[in-house]
Amino acid sequence: MKETIIELNKKLEDLGKKYLHFDKAMDAMAELDNFEGKREMIDRIRTMRNKCGDQKQAVLDAISALQQVCEHRLADGSSAYKSNGNDSHYSYEKCEICGDEIKC
């Protein structure tokens, strides 16, 4: 499960970068003087960006589903949650298997 979540997180990062590139492309196109096909090109980029956003959401949903079924137990039966820092009010623990984070 850990390897799958690592792969999904990489995919999520790549999709996030791609999404931002689509936004930058739309902004750049909007700044250009009008030319034939400009509106259609912006619409195509917007459609591609929305598809990318849908893919990002699907990956987030998959990660969340895996975190919900994770037992948060190591092979020896001990808790997979390890300290992941603290602030003035809480300490934080993260599951070594699925990456789920809790505050204590």
Reported as a single tens digit per residue, the pLDDT across 6-35 is 999 999 999 999 999 999 999 999 999 989
The 10 Å Cβ neighbour count of residue 33 is 5
User: Within this chain, do residues 56 and 102 fall inside the same structural domain, yes or no?
Assistant: no
Number of domains in the chain: 2
User: Domain span at residue 95?
Assistant: 73-104
User: Within this chain, do residues 7 and 38 fall inside the same structural domain, yes or no?
Assistant: yes
Amino acid 1: pLDDT: 86
Nearest to 18 by CA among 51, 52, 60, 43: 52
pLDDT of 22-81, one tens digit each?
A: 999 999 999 999 899 999 999 999 999 999 999 999 999 999 999 999 999 999 999 999
User: Within this chain, do residues 83 and 42 fall inside the same structural domain, yes or no?
Assistant: no
